[in-house]
């Protein structure tokens, strides 16, 4: 697989009433390798939400080419064809000026479940796993990034 990405960051919010361990397990399930063994940090932050309720933010960012290739390959395996088609159809609105491509995965379908097979579903909901893929193209132009997105999710 070519070098399609500069980085990939996956983050999720866990509300006070949610089982943070189950949310963390679902986050970790996105990665086809052991984060600890690969010395990849799982960042944890706490913020205050509405009515001063605690929200835990869990985040993993990948920067090494080897990790990015394994992650992207695994992600593509777990996305059904119609989910990939949706991403391609919506590519214009999902790509920003810095050539970051955004995907939200339905959190309710992943937390507490094993995400075997075609288990990742795209959502517009705020209750999600939020993935930012930094697209690697030269020259760094929007048109080139959009063409690469077509190639990635074909």
Interval 25-34: pLDDT, tens: 999 999 999 9
Single pTM value for the model: 0.92
Percent of the chain with pLDDT strictly greater than 70: 95
Give the integer Cα–Cα distance in Å for 63 and 67: 7
94-143 tens-digit pLDDT: 999 999 999 999 999 999 665 444 479 999 988 999 999 999 999 999 99
Q: Are 76 and 84 in contact (CB under 8 A)?
A: yes
Q: Where are the domains of the chain?
A: 5-152
Q: Tell me which CATH homologous superfamily contains domain 5-152.
A: Ribosomal protein L5 (3.30.1440.10)
- How many CB atoms lie under 10 A from the CB of residue 85? 13
How far apart are alpha carbons 67 and 73 in whole angstroms?
10
Q: pLDDT tens across 42-98, in order?
A: 999 999 888 888 999 999 999 999 999 999 999 999 999 999 999 999 999 999 999
In whole angstroms, what is the distance from residue 42 CA to residue 35 CA? 8
DSSP secondary structure letter of residue 133: E
């Amino acid at each position: 697989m070519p070098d399609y990405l500069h980085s990939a960051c996956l983050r999720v919010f866990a509300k006070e009433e949610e089982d943070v361990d189950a949310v963390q397990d679902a986050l970790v399930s996105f990665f086809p390798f052991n984060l600890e063994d690969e010395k990849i940090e799982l960042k944890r932050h706490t913020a205050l939400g509405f009515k001063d309720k605690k929200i835990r933010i869990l985040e993993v960012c990948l920067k090494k080419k080897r990790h990015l290739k394994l992650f992207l390959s695994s992600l593509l395996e777990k996305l059904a064809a119609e989910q990939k088609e949706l991403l391609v159809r919506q590519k214009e609105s999902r790509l920003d000026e810095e050539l970051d491509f955004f995907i939200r995965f339905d959190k309710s379908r992943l937390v507490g479940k094993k995400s075997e097979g075609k288990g990742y579903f795209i959502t517009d909901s705020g209750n999600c796993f939020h993935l930012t893929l930094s697209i690697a193209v030269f020259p760094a132009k929007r048109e080139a990034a959009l063409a690469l997105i077509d190639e990635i999710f074909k």
